[in-house]
Structure 1
Amino acid sequence: MSVHRILSTKGRNVVTIGPQRTLGEAARMLAEHRIGALLVVDGVRPVSGIVSERDIVRAVAEQGPAALEAPVSRFMTEKVVTCTTRTAVNDLMEAMTNGKFRHVPVVEDGALVGIVSIGDVVKNRLAEIEAEAQAIKDYIATA
């Protein structure tokens, strides 16, 4: 199973933000779209960073409400792990677990084509397990 299958089910919509937009704007966008992370794009690279709910909470905890007026670039994670549509879901799960992150941008041929969250991965895996269980039940019923 590859990332392509997840994207074909969930879609390829990605919510992005510019690096000079404020952390407060990022928080509003996360709430508006009901998502956990925004990809930061600068027009040069497909992904220049990622800012998550965790990043915003840490920034406010360390610097108080004034952090919400600072640019996203100050708090974003710059070293972002990406994958392609051909990446195996098991490999992606391992990378997310080992790296302790919950969102992975999908980049293909130098272009951002989607994002996969840990929720997407879990949903995909549960569907696989349910299909396997049903196949076993069907096999037993016909044996």
Structure 2
Amino acid sequence: MSVNHILSLKGHEVVAIAPDRTLGEAARMLTDRRIGAVLVRDGEHPVTGIISERDIVRAISAHGADALDQPLSRFMTAKVVTCTSATSINDVMEAMTNGKFRHVPVVEGGQLIGIISIGDVVKHRLAEIEAEAQAIRDYIATA
């Protein structure tokens, strides 16, 4: 199964913010949207960076509350791992596990087309497991 399957179910909406906005603005956006990360986009590149709850906590821990008034570009993760819609779910899970991150932007032909979170992957995997279990129950019932 590929990333395209998850995007077809969840949609292609991506929440993004400009790199010159403040860390506090990004934190409010995460809270208002009830999400764990927001992509940073500069208008020239599909993905300039990503800012997550974890990045915000690190910034405040290191710089205090003053960090919230600083440009988020100062604290964002600039090296962002991306995937394509054809990437397998197993490959995305492996990348998330090995890299210890929870969000992967989906880029096709130089265009941002979506984002996959660990929650999306877990939801998909649970549905697969349930379908397999039901298939086994159906098989046993007809045997």
- 2:64 equivalent in structure 1: 64
Instruction: Please report how far the alpha carbon of residue 10 of structure 1 lies from its aligned counterpart in structure 2 after TM superposition.
Output: 1.0
User: 2 CA distance for matches of 1:134 and 1:11?
Assistant: 27
SS in 2 for 1:38: strand
Residue by residue, what CA displacement relative to the aligned partner does 1:61-113 show, whole Å, maximum 9, x if unpaired? 11111000000100000000000000000011001000000000000110000
1:36-115 to 2 correspondences below 5 Å: 36-115=36-115
User: 2 CA distance for matches of 1:27 and 1:95?
Assistant: 25
- 1:34 equivalent in structure 2: 34
Q: TM-score, normalised by structure 2?
A: 0.99
Instruction: Please report how far the alpha carbon of residue 20 of structure 1 lies from its aligned counterpart in structure 2 after TM superposition.
Output: 0.0
Large movers: runs of 4+ above 4 Å = none
Instruction: Please report how far the alpha carbon of residue 54 of structure 1 lies from its aligned counterpart in structure 2 after TM superposition.
Output: 0.5
User: 2 CA distance for matches of 1:29 and 1:135?
Assistant: 42
Residue by residue, what CA displacement relative to the aligned partner does 1:103-134 show, whole Å, maximum 9, x if unpaired? 00000110000000001101100000000000
Q: Within the alignment, does 1:121 sit opposite 2:116 as a pair?
A: no
CA RMSD of aligned residues (A): 0.5
Instruction: Please report how far the alpha carbon of residue 11 of structure 1 lies from its aligned counterpart in structure 2 after TM superposition.
Output: 1.0
- 1:4 equivalent in structure 2: 4
Identity of aligned residues (%): 73
Letter in 1 for 2:93: M
User: 1 CA distance for matches of 2:15 and 2:128?
Assistant: 28
Instruction: Please report how far the alpha carbon of residue 60 of structure 1 lies from its aligned counterpart in structure 2 after TM superposition.
Output: 0.6
User: 1 CA distance for matches of 2:142 and 2:11?
Assistant: 37
Gaps spanning 5+ residues in structure 1: where? none
User: 2 CA distance for matches of 1:91 and 1:64?
Assistant: 37
Letter in 2 for 1:79: K
